[in-house]
Amino acid sequence: MKKISKHTLLKTAIIILSVLLVAATASAVYFVVQDNKSKNQIESLNKKLADEKSSHEADMQSNSEAFESLENEKSSEAQSYEDRLSAESSANQSKVDELNKQIESLNKQLAAKRAASTTKRVDSQSVTPSTPPAQSRGKTVYLTFDDGPSQYTPEILNVLDRYGVKATFFVVNGRYNSVMKDIVNRGNAIGLHSYSHNYASVYSSDAAFYSDLNKISAVVKEQTGVETKIMRFPGGSSNTVSKKYSAGIMSRLAKSVTENGYVYFDWNCANGDAAGANTVEKQLANCKSYPKSASNIIVLMHDSKSTTLEALPKIIEYYKSCGMSFGVLTTATPPVHHGINN
Ligand SMILES: [Zn+2]
């Protein structure tokens, strides 16, 4: 044992230590490597996890979007259904309204027919008295029509012909001037009323009045060949509307037209067609209330009103039933004049 020297012992110790050191280093390296490996694995796992998470989130997002759009679709479908329903219901409502209107109008027609048949019965009693009253017998009635010709004038002429009655037409210028010829050719009288029938211009001065009168006179001459000298002032000689445009003009004109060879006619009875008498019954009632003391009746009417056409047969029948004869106005007819108010 002695031979084992200190040196050998040292050498051996160094060797053992070296081996130990190498082993320790190797194991340290191993652990570091292992550690790195684990770290990498953890990182990669984390990354994988994060990826999965984000893909999951994206899925969630897209799912929620899909859900939302589905919801929107559903609600817009519901909305459109509601809209359709409400449209259908309002269409139905308007159909109901329409039907109600039709019913109302049918009821009105029925009521009107009933009233007409009642009136007919009443009229046939009152229009044809067995003996004409003494106050009307032998009198002449002059039916006069102002403000035409109109679209109703041809039919009015037919009614007059049907009853063998003549009338007088105080005409204005308008779309139906060509009817003037027919008025005259069928034996009626034609007179001057106004070219424009515009109070503001006609009554602005004496000269303006004559300018208007000459113009309508020329139209009548051109259409009919007649140079008529009978006339009726727009608004009648008693009008007050002319005051607005020229004080005293009616007093001057009433005098001067006569001096110029014209005869002007007012009226002592009116069917009221220009004053709200918009039914046959009202017009007939007005015609019946002629002045009983007057020797002749000049009735003012307007052939520009449809109700007048409708009422005319009744009016003629009424005057016939009174034993009156029908005449046309001429310059020789005793005129009816109103009191002058301007
Ligand atoms: Zn008039």
- Please give the distance, rounded to the nearest whole angstrom, from the Cα atom of residue 195 to the centre of ligand 1: 10
The more confidently predicted of residues 191 and 9 is 191
The enclosing domain of 209 has a CATH number of 3.20.20.370
Would you say residue 113 lies in a domain?
A: yes
CA nearest neighbour of 302 among 294, 310, 292? 310
The DSSP bridge partners found for residue 7 are none
Q: Are residues 161 and 260 in the same domain?
A: yes
Q: What is the pLDDT of residue 126?
A: 44
146 is an active site residue: yes
Q: Provide the mean pLDDT of the chain.
A: 84
Nearest Cα to 129, choosing from 311, 260, 320, 338? 320
- The answer to whether position 148 is within a domain reads yes
Distance 165 CA to ligand 1 centre (A): 22
Q: In a 3-state reduction of DSSP, which class is residue 285?
A: helix
Domain that holds residue 37: 1-126
pLDDT tens, residue by residue, 31-85 = 666 777 777 776 777 777 667 766 666 566 655 555 555 555 555 565 555 556 5
Q: Identify whether the C-beta of residue 226 lies closer than 8 Å to the C-beta of residue 189.
A: no
At 24 the pLDDT is 76
CA of 199 to the centre of ligand 1 (A): 10
Q: What is the pLDDT of residue 19?
A: 77
Q: Which of 123, 146, 212, 303 is catalytic?
A: 146
Separation of 328 CA from ligand 1 center, angstroms?
A: 18
| Catalytic status, residue 302 | yes
pLDDT of residue 39: 74
Please check whether residues 108 and 197 belong to one and the same domain.
no
State residue 62's pLDDT score: 58
**Residue 330: other Cβ atoms inside 10 A:** 13
Is residue 141 a contact partner of residue 312, using CB atoms and an 8 Å limit? no
SS3 at position 3 = coil
Instruction: Name the β-bridge partners of 230.
Output: 263
pTM beyond 0.85, yes or no: no
- Is the pLDDT reported for residue 134 higher than 90? no
φ, ψ of residue 153 to 5 degrees: the values are: -60, -45
| Burial class of 318 by CB neighbour count within 10 A (0 to 12, 13 to 18, 19+) | buried
Q: Which of 126, 156, 180 is the last residue of a domain?
A: 126
Q: Angle, nearest 10°, between helix axes 153-162 and 306-321?
A: 20
Q: What is the pLDDT of residue 236?
A: 98
Q: Does residue 141 sit in helix, strand or coil?
A: strand
Give the pLDDT confidence score for residue 4 in this predicted structure. 61
**Is residue 46 situated within a structural domain?**
yes
Q: How far is CA 171 from the centre of its chain?
A: 30
Domain count, the chain: 2
b vs e for 59-93, b when ≥16 Cβ sit within 10 Å of the residue's Cβ? eeeeeeeeeeeeeeeeeeeeeeeeeeeeeeeeeee
Give the end-to-end CA distance of the chain in Å, rounded to a whole number: 175
Across the chain, where does the E strand assignment appear?
140-148, 168-172, 189-194, 230-231, 263-264, 269-270, 296-302, 325-326
Catalytic residue, from 123, 147, 266, 302: name it.
302
List CB contacts of 138: < 8 A, sequence separation 6 or more: 323, 325
Whether the per-residue pLDDT at 115 is higher than 70: the answer is no
CA of 271 to the centre of ligand 1 (A): 14
